[in-house]
Amino acid sequence: MKTCPCGSGRAYAECCEPYIKGARLPPTAEALMRSRYSAYAEHAIDYIIGTCVRREGEQAVDVKQTKDWSEQSTWLGLKILSTDKGGTGDTQGTVEFEAAYERNGLKDLHREKARFKKENGQWLYEDGEVAPVTIVRSSPKVGRNDPCPCGSGKKYKHCCGKAG
């Protein structure tokens, strides 16, 4: 059984996968938020793009940037911090969350207060306020005179740490 990336503890096939595959619609803003996180972890870019509000005259979501972020990151977990409205009977809701991931050897925490809107019975991501975060190195920094981590036996400055 594959556990759902969204952190619910449930099986992926019984949690976010039916939403991502289009078999069901997320019933709440939080369920949409969780499924969007899972879509990033599963690289389901069409789902991420398809669950955004589309406004006339606005620039479309950058598909390449979204795909790169999804595929070049190791998704470490989702934490829902708070929700405001966004239930089955609501038309708007807010979900504050933290999405942990690692990219290029750096761990990062994307913290956002996301706004959702229900249109024609479907929850969609509208926009959000991203909180500033501190990026933390996931491995120790290699000094210039340390052995090169590639295993060559040379000093870092004479191997992979060469400038230019």
CATH no. for 12-133? 3.10.450.50
Domain boundaries, the chain: 12-133
Q: Which of 38-42, 102-106, 149-153 has the lowest mean pLDDT?
A: 149-153
Beta bridge partners of residue 103, listed in sequence order: 106
Q: What is the pLDDT of residue 164?
A: 47
Please give the full DSSP string across 75-119, using - where no structure is assigned. EEEEEEEEEEE-STT-SEEEEEEEEEEEETTEEEEEEEEEEEEEE
Lookup: tokens for 20: 């991502």
Task: Give the pLDDT mean for 27-31.
Answer: 98
- pLDDT, position 55: 74
- Please report the pLDDT score of residue 1 as a whole number: 87
Position 139 scores a pLDDT of 67
Dihedral pair phi/psi, residue 20, rounded to 5° = -65, -35
User: 133 or 90, which is more confident?
Assistant: 90
Q: Specify the DSSP class assigned to residue 126.
A: E
| CB under 8 A, 24+ apart: contacts of 139-147 | 139/105
The pLDDT value given to residue 138: 63
* pLDDT 10s digits, 42-82: 999 999 999 999 877 666 788 999 999 999 999 999 999 99
The per-residue pLDDT for range 71-129, each reduced to its tens digit, is 999 999 999 999 999 999 999 999 999 999 999 888 889 999 999 999 999 999 999 99
